[in-house]
Structure 1
């Protein structure tokens, strides 16, 4: 019996070639991920009303508000209506799995990663010349010129175009040395030049915005905990195969 084939353009692919191709195109990890998730949610029930709500939420999320919009979405994604509804219900089941298995871990995980989500607004001037950096620092200390004026005139980074102001950005997005400075700062505190990545950096904290465990953050952390779990399951599957 001949193995089934798939025709893509002028290329014929035999089914037995698929694993090799999936590995070549680095798709196999996504396949394993999908299998792991499907196994995890297989026993999660979805009543008729829950399935209907799942589909409504899916359509709201993707702005499918009319028959025409639905037809366009299906065509763009190469799906049938049944496949779209199955995807919506799958997404709902995944969220239920996340809540059931990881909600109790969110609080402790938040305090573990909170520093990564704390945000800051700060003013910054960076220069290659240490002598000039200290001269500018002393001008700021003596209130001879404003931070904005000096940043526009002397800073050698993109902050020269924003009056030296950066943010709000998460501390995880900043250089670790700079993040430590900002964490130890009070609003308005000016720091003498620090050498970071080949520049002499003058920084002043303008505003510190601590992360809060609100609904958006809870959802984000649930996603992170779930992703870590799935990745571990995929790694374990690879090792055993």
Structure 2
């Protein structure tokens, strides 16, 4: 019998598979052990998740199409080549669906409240910007706009020192959560269409005008995104529970993980 390497997770019941020792150099040499650990974490979580017969049949049909397994003989040869029995084939074919079901079952009931909590950061904004490191010039530009001497776009194109100058000062749409908090607060509290007086940010002075606020909606796309956010946070928690050796493979900062656990 071949010797095996047992990868043991710190999580109870994680169930990492025994790995034939002869393939360990291959996995390590191609840096595949992190992928193995990642997939086993996910596999352990979706063990209880099942699919209906219709879902399984559909998943198998998609698999057959993707691999051009148009005949029963091709399917048998393919399974033999990869060492899959019928049960393993079904698990392989339905894996992506079972992961999505796991997300929905685990966090689907939390999406509405989570969305409301995150909405302010998910809202998008389109705004005009002029930025310069010269306080005297920025004040002059503000008054020229206020008095209607020049348009915001004209002055942004001529004086703004950022890449927005190529777009006549227009930036966005961009999510408020992707903007520096203090600047996002300025945009969030600004009245649409009103030019704000010059404000210092870092080494620059800026003039902004919010052109449009786009409210985030809890549609299908947003639901999938929020489920994925939950899933990624959960996965990071699982990484923090791995053994020290496994954390090294996964590139987890053990000191940071320990601080998080204490906190």
Indicate yes or no: 2:56 matched with 1:51.
yes
Is 1:227 aligned to residue 232 of structure 2? Answer: yes
Kindly report which structure 2 residues correspond to 1:105-184, keeping only aligned pairs within 5 A, or say none: 105-184=110-189
Q: CA deviation at 1:109?
A: 1.3
Greater than 6 Å deviation, 4+ residue runs: 1-4, 57-60, 82-85
Q: Which runs of 5+ in 1 are unaligned?
A: 5-12, 69-78
Separation of aligned partners in 1, 2:187 and 2:173: 12
User: Partner residue of 2:108?
Assistant: 103
User: Once the 2 structures are TM-superposed, how far is the Cα of residue 192 of structure 1 from its aligned partner?
Assistant: 1.3
d(CA) in 2 for partners of 1:168, 1:90? 35
Moved more, 129-138 or 112-121: 112-121
1:116 Cα offset (Å): 2.0
For the residues of structure 1 that align with 2:236 and 2:114, how far apart are their CA atoms? Answer: 17
**Alpha-carbon separation, structure 2, partners of 1:93 and 1:45:** 7
Structure 2 residue aligned with 1:203: 208
The offset of 1:232, in angstroms, is 0.7
Provide the rounded CA distance (Å) in 2 between the counterparts of 1:164 and 1:88.
Answer: 49
The Cα offsets for residues 171-212 of structure 1, whole Å up to 9 and x where unpaired, read as 122222210111101111211111223111110000001111
Number of the residue aligned with 1:75: none
Using structure 2 for the length normalisation, give the TM-score.
Answer: 0.71
Aligned length: 215
Query: Structure 1 pair 144/103, CA: closer, same or farther in 2 (3 Å)?
Result: same
